[in-house]
Chain A
Amino acid sequence: AQSVTQLGSHVSVSEGALVLLRCNYSSSVPPYLFWYVQYPNQGLQLLLKYTSAATLVKGINGFEAEFKKSETSFHLTKPSAHMSDAAEYFCAVSDYGSSNTGKLIFGQGTTLQVKP
C-alpha cells in the first residue's frame, strides 16, 4: 500500500529565501507523485506531478520537485519565496499502479509561512 509522509507540519522562511518542503513516499509499485497547494478557504490546486518521465519536475509559480528513488523522496523547492506562497502544501501519491482507482493518498500537509 502507498503512503506519504511530509516532514514538518510548519515551515517558516523569510521572503526571498529558499523554500524546501519535504515529502517521502512508500510504494510497492512505481509511484505517481503530486504536490498540491491550498490557499485559505479554497480547494487544492496542482503545483506539479511526477509520472515516471524526467526526475526533475517543474511546476507553476516557480516550484519544482525532484524524484529520488534511492531516497524515496519527492521534495518541493523554490529558490526565492514570495509572500503569496504562504499556504498549505500537500504531497500525494496515486494508487493507480496498484488498484487503478486513481485516488490520491495525501500526506499530513505542511503550512508554509513567509516572513517579510
Chain B
Amino acid sequence: EADIYQTPRYLVIGTGKKITLECSQTMGHDKMYWYQQDPGMELHLIHYSYGVNSTEKGDLSSESTVSRIRTEHFPLTLESARPSHTSQYLCASSSQVSAGNTIYFGEGSWLTVV
C-alpha cells in the first residue's frame, strides 16, 4: 500500500480562481511526478522533480507550476483557473534505488472549473 496523499480529492471552482493541489508522500522518495488525465484518456506527465529544489516540465505543456521545498511535499498551483484546466491530476513518487522503480500513485484530485 502506497503512502501518498492528495488533497482535495474533488474541487469545483470558478474561472480565475487560484488553486493549489496538495501532494504528500511518507516514503522518503526523491522523485515525484504530476500526471494529468482527462476522462477516459491516457495519463500525461506535466511536471516532475528529482528532489528538493528540483522541478522540470513534463511531456504535456501545462499552465500549472510546482515547487519542491521539502522531500515529502510537491504541490501544484494554478494561478488563474480556466475551464480547460478541468481534469484529473494524479501525483506519484518513486525512489532512486534502482532501475525499473515502481511509481506509486495517489488517489487523484478531480478539478472542475466552471
A residues with CB within 8 A of B: 32, 34, 36, 41-46, 49-52, 90, 94, 96-97, 101-109, 111
**Residue total for B at the interface (Cβ-Cβ under 8 A):** 28
Nearest-neighbor residue (CB-CB) of A45 within chain B: B105
List A contacts of B74 (CB < 8 A): none
A97-B99, A101-B48, A103-B48 as given contacts; A43 in contact with B42, CB under 8 Å: no
Which residues of the partner chain A approach B51 to less than 8 Å between Cβ atoms? none
Which chain B residue has the least Cβ–Cβ distance from A31?
Answer: B100
Known: A103-B33, A109-B41. A42 touches B107 (CB 8 A): yes
Given A32-B100, A51-B100, A90-B43, the answer on whether A102 and B105 have CB atoms closer than 8 Å is: no
Contacts across chains A and B counted by CB atoms under 8 Å: 66
Q: Contacts A90-B43, A107-B42 given; indicate if A43 touches B100 (C-beta within 8 A).
A: no
A102 touches B31 (CB 8 A): yes
Known A103-B45, A108-B41; contact A44-B94, beta-carbon cutoff 8 A: no
- Asked whether A43 lies within 8 Å of B106 as measured between CB atoms, the reply is yes
